[in-house]
Chains A and B, each alone.
Chain A
């Protein structure tokens, strides 16, 4: 938060700002001090914001042509694809946009894990982020149901049946979710209503997320506290804005590579067959971004157990700031954590791969091993490391020489040199 009092120049602006301090807010956002050593992994927050807006805009347009009824939904999608002007483009942007949104959020989350961004004093940033992530999954799941194709129908059937695993009241809950005894028109209608609502909830949470970020300020690749408004920081605008925009452009290029050249690569061909409640496709799979959780669900040989472990794999992340008790944030100074981090990344990717494979033989065994490791990582390895790991000495400033990482030293000397002597454009 800016410590100084901002006063706009013109009388009119002063009149306005003293009644509704939007100008003060904008001044704060532009001048917000960011550490100079932020790397490109820090640009994904901006990329996420961009994709949230893309999804909202394309979604509202699709809603102008889509019909939420079991007899008409599938055809209204075909109508959008064939007849509506640029309908194909808007739909492909919305569908592939959700994949890109998840790709970005996974990079964003793993960035946090690597650099210890979940640790004090940033726990609330982490937790609001996880709530956003949960809402994103719910939104994407309900959106995938709307085309009412075979995959829509069966993925939604399987996921809503997860709640049937709850003892005693499970069946009442599924009937309540469906508004019937199976997935049907009432279900499609309510999913549509909520799919429209949730992105706006996400939007509100993003505001809280960024608010919580602006209290302590950004973490950074070295993970030590920086002095705000010192030579260690520079103002968000224009420096970080330019960096964010460059990264965003590259990401958008990849995105449109999918949209124009492989728009169905991440989708599933069975979803171009209208939903049929009598026949389950031979091989049903959720969207790629849910595959690791799907693999955990199937790894446990009991219905209730599978569901519990699947939800636990997400909720355990909320406790992470307390499980990972090491005082050192960045993995750069945690030689052991760094290794375990990459094992975890490999295990999550393996789970994703296994989630797409049939649940038999070696695939099940591997899924059990990876699931076990996932929980061991958070429940045992992290608390133990926090106590016993011998961490490398921390520098006192982000410009200080770092003893056994010579290239980092050079890099920071260079960065420091670039800004040395130049008046850093933070607010006075």
Chain B
């Protein structure tokens, strides 16, 4: 056998060994990385039922779901009209109010500012709705971002009305 062929065969063996080795190391590291992801007990806490019968129009209640606050607001007539009247062109993250609140009287949102995660304060800011004090994001009566650094509207979680007075979140 000539030297050249020998060295080609060696190159192949080296490359194959490195490749298998890299796959093995990757497989060994993955569990070490993945253990940090949300565990099964965290994922299991998925739904909450809330009794909303005592909420007056113009009032908001806040409940905890998956460690995050959920705002449930019973909106007044003027708030609903204001939210519906907004021209979509004026919005940073255009979304119709009717898509955000299936039942216009009830607005259910994750109460976490989409900027860096603070909890916005109610009945504040330029739109007399939600205002995040952390870096100054203003949201309107539909929870849509209007001014400030937040990129998107307040998130709408998955929820449904179980009956007239109970909302199931998750």
Contact = CB atoms under 8 A, between A and B. Distances in A.
Partners in one complex: yes
Interface of A: 154, 157-162, 164, 175-184, 186, 190, 277-280, 282-284, 297-298, 300-304, 306, 358-360
Nearest to B150: A303
Contacts of B59: none
Nearest to A294: B135
A-B pairs, top 9 by smallest CB distance, nearest first, are A182-B67, A161-B117, A161-B116, A280-B118, A158-B116, A181-B66, A280-B119, A359-B136, A180-B42
B39 interface: yes
Contacts of A162: 116
Contacts of A278: 62, 64, 69, 119
A153 B107 CA distance: 27
Nearest to B152: A303
A398 to B, nearest CB: 49
A302 B149 contact: yes
How would you classify the secondary structure of chain B's contact residues: helix, strand, loop or mixed?
A: loop
Given A181-B67, A277-B64, A303-B151, A175 B38 contact: yes
A182 B38 contact: no
29 contacts: A154-B134, A157-B118, A158-B116, A161-B115, A161-B116, A161-B117, A162-B116, A164-B117, A175-B37, A175-B38, A178-B38, A180-B42, A180-B66, A180-B67, A181-B42, A183-B67, A186-B38, A186-B39, A186-B42, A278-B69, A280-B121, A282-B133, A283-B133, A284-B118, A301-B148, A301-B149, A302-B149, A303-B151, A358-B133
A190 B149 contact: no
Contact of A306 (B38, B39, B121, B149): B149
B168 interface: no
Nearest to A281: B133
A162 B115 CA distance: 8
B82 to A, nearest CB: 23
Contacts of B134: 154, 158, 280, 284
Question: Chain B: interface residue count, which band?
Answer: 20 to 34
B68 A181 contact: yes
B66 A182 contact: yes
B32 to A, nearest CB: 12
A278 B135 CA distance: 18
A298 B36 contact: no
Contacts of B38: 175, 178-181, 186
Given A179-B36, A303-B151, A279 B119 contact: yes
Given A160-B117, A280-B132, 13 more contacts: A158-B116, A161-B116, A161-B117, A179-B37, A181-B66, A181-B68, A182-B66, A182-B117, A277-B119, A284-B118, A284-B133, A298-B135, A301-B148
A157 B135 contact: no
Interface string B86-117: 00000000000000000000000000101111
B133 to A, nearest CB: 5
Contacts of A277: 64, 67-69, 119
A138 to B, nearest CB: 16
B36 A190 contact: yes
A367 to B, nearest CB: 11
Nearest to A306: B149
Contact of B116 (A157, A175, A177, A186): A157
Contacts of A190: 36
A363 to B, nearest CB: 10
Contacts of A360: 136
Contact of B67 (A177, A184, A284, A302): A184
B151 A157 contact: no
A303 B118 CA distance: 14
Interface in B24-51: 36-39, 42
Among A164, A175, A180, A360, the one with the most B-chain Cβ atoms within 10 Å of its Cβ is A180
A177 B42 CA distance: 14
A161 B116 CA distance: 5
Contacts of A280: 118-119, 121, 132-134
Contacts of B37: 175-176, 179
Contacts of A177: 36
Nearest to B33: A176
A192 to B, nearest CB: 14
Contacts of A164: 116-117
Interface in B112-167: 112, 114-119, 121, 132-136, 148-151
Contacts of A186: 36, 38-39, 42
Given A180-B67, A298-B149, A359 B135 contact: yes
Contact of A303 (B64, B66, B119, B149): B149
Nearest to B134: A284
Contacts of B149: 298, 300-303, 306
A3 B143 CA distance: 71
